[in-house]
Structure 1
Amino acid sequence: MTDPNAASRPVQAVVLAGGQGSRLRPYTDDRPKPMVEIPGTGTPIIGHQLSWLAEEGVTDVVVSCGHLADVLQDWLDSADLPVSVKTVVETEPLGRGGGLKFAAKHLPHPDRPWYATNGDIWTRFSLREMADFHTERAATATLALARPRIPWGAVETDGFGHITDFIESPPTAYEINAGVYVFSAGFADLLPELGDHERSTFPRLARERRLAGYPIPQGAYWRAIDTAKDLTEAAKELAALGR
């Protein structure tokens, strides 16, 4: 039976892998952030991402490199990859929006939608369902939304000020940008040549009701790897999940 939504789903993606990862030192002294391995997984973050994208129907990926680009390129050249990968390197800093626009110019199908992900995200959920959500809302851009756990214990009180409970690392009350996106074909034209799209393009689309937010399904794994503590926590979580 033919899936009526299949034609509208992206088959191409951009991975933003140019950050310096200064908060992950010393792990990033000799490799870019996406090349850092979660202990116990045997796979760098970008290897996990490429496998996930392939499972979700992606065939072509543009990897935007920066810090220690040659280390990442060497690994991509030697690895047995499940997708076709092209790397691009910014010759000068373009900012997040400019870098995304530069990478998008190298996608093989400029007239088709595309996914994008930050190079430090370790997650698993259905991109196909996110793409369908994007299409149903006729959005120009859709952001995945996560509700991460806060790193502290929380305290619950009653109306009189008595403490009633302690909760260890509860989910935050707010959803955050999870660093995974679906973009319609014309989105790249709205990006700045230089600067941050989250301060220009996204607010403009929000005002025009063309920006959608897709909550990552409950129970799906998501973590941004920003610090050494994130590596340790991710290793524990993934071991508990049997991954």
Structure 2
Amino acid sequence: MTDTRSLAACTDAVILVGGKGTRLRPLTNTIPKPMLPVAGYPFLQHLLARIREAGMTHVVLGTSFKAEFFEEFFGDGHDLGLEIEYVVEDQPLGTGGGIRNVLDHLRHERAMVFNGDVLGGTDLEAVLRTHVDNDAEVTLHLLQVADPRAFGCVPTDADGRVTDFLEKTEDPPTDQINAGCYVFQRSVIAEIPADKVVSVEREVFPALLERDARVYGHVDQAYWRDLGTPADFVRGSSDLVRGIAPSPLIAGRHGEALVDPSAGVAGGVLLLGGTVVGRGAEIGAGARVDTSVILEGVVIEPGATVERCVIAAGARIGARAQLTDAVVGEGAVIGARCELIGGARVWPGVQIPDGGLRFSPDI
């Protein structure tokens, strides 16, 4: 039997990163979602590190929105121990079309495909082993969840072979959902129509079952989170810092906070819940920052409270301001004693004066 590391070395990694990240605006107004800093690194870098750790070295990024960001940052991948190629979709092609669009850049007969929005912890080598052991044409990573009603369900038989793809239902027959990570044989990718919008979930997979293709599931209960919303983005970053979600990039550095060495944190500051403090940020005395992402150059003045928030680069939070479940765009200014709660989003460059927004009658 071929060892799993050898299998990984002969497997292409394909990452689909073409989405616009609209649910994370205004953070994604200028930066593609996979490049947003999570636990001190662009989110995509955590995934690339896991791919490298599993033994895959050739990566193809399927890009569309702000495609130039990826190549400018990662280059050819040499610094990460990878070989990275970039394929740009002129028009978004959907998941199936995006996979088909990279076909000419694949080097091997097998490709592991990742959704660039998902923070995952599954054992990639084990998924690959499941695929090869079953002589599968396609293998899906299937996640067991407590409440599968909000997801499409993927039942399997006693041998792990996929029997159906079901839309969301109030009475799901299985707790297994599609986790957005697949292993494809190259021959299957070649069957997808070129230059067309195609969905793997609604078109490719059902068609494979119809022709009785060998489609299998690798089932586990690994860490999994789609970072598509501000709440999930903050929680994913927190889980990385606290070691709940795995990443080779911060192994051995887990705790209540991850603070860049260049940041200034005054006395009496409380940093809790897996908070990240970015390069050159300054946090004033007596401030409390809990389960938040504080990006480069942010200033949080004394006595402010920031909880479950993302504060973008160069923003300023005034003294004794209180922010909960908020997103503050680049360079915005939140005046002293302001209150932002419950999903508030401040666009880049906006300035709210001292006491200019609050929910309590007096603070």
State the TM bucket, normalised to the shorter chain.
0.7 to 0.9
Q: Distance in 2 between matches of 1:188 and 1:103?
A: 9
**Counterpart residue identity of residue 51, structure 2:** L
**Corresponding residue of 1:143:** 140
> Which residue in the other structure is 2:216 paired with?
212
Distance 1:64 1:4 in 2: 29
Q: Relative to structure 1, is the Cα distance of residues 50 and 4 closer, same or farther in structure 2, using a 3 angstrom cutoff?
A: closer
Q: In structure 1, what is the equivalent of residue 233 of structure 2?
A: 231
Name the CA shift for 1:148/1:237 in 2 (closer, same or farther; >3 Å): farther
Cα distance between partner residues in 2 of 1:210 and 1:201: 13
For the Cα contact (< 8 Å) 1:8–1:113, is it kept in 2? no
1:7 to partner: Cα distance: 4.6
Query: Scaled by the length of structure 1, what TM-score is found?
Result: 0.80
For residues 120 and 149 of structure 1, do their structure 2 counterparts lie closer, same or farther at Cα, with a shift above 3 Å needed?
farther
The residue that corresponds to 1:184 in the other structure is: 185
What runs of 5+ residues in structure 2 fail to find an aligned partner?
148-173, 244-253, 256-363
Give the deviation of 1:32 after TM superposition.
1.0
5 Å matches for 1:24-173? 24-38=24-38, 41-77=39-75, 80-109=79-108, 112-148=109-145
Distance in 1 separating the partners of 2:213 and 2:202:
16
Q: 1:198 aligns with which of 196, 201, 209?
A: 201
Q: Output the amino acid matched with 2:102.
A: A
Amino acid at match of 2:131: H
CA deviation vs aligned residue, 1:111-134 (integer Å, no higher than 9, x gap) = x21111011111223211111111
Deviation readout 1:120-179 (Å, 9 max, x if unpaired): 1112232111111111222111111123566xxxxxxxxxxxxxxxxxxxxxx7322111
Identity %: 33
Going from structure 1 to structure 2, the CA distance change for 1:100 and 1:78 (only over 3 Å counts) comes to closer
Supply the AA of the counterpart residue of 2:21: G
* CA RMSD, 1 decimal: 2.3
Instruction: Report SS of the residue matched to 2:59.
Output: strand
Q: Residue 169 of structure 1 aligns with which residue? A: none
Deviation sequence 1:78-105 (CA, Å, 0-9, x none): 9732211011101223222111101132
Unaligned runs of 5+ in 1: 151-172
SS in 1 for 2:80: coil
Letter aligned with residue 53 of structure 1 = I
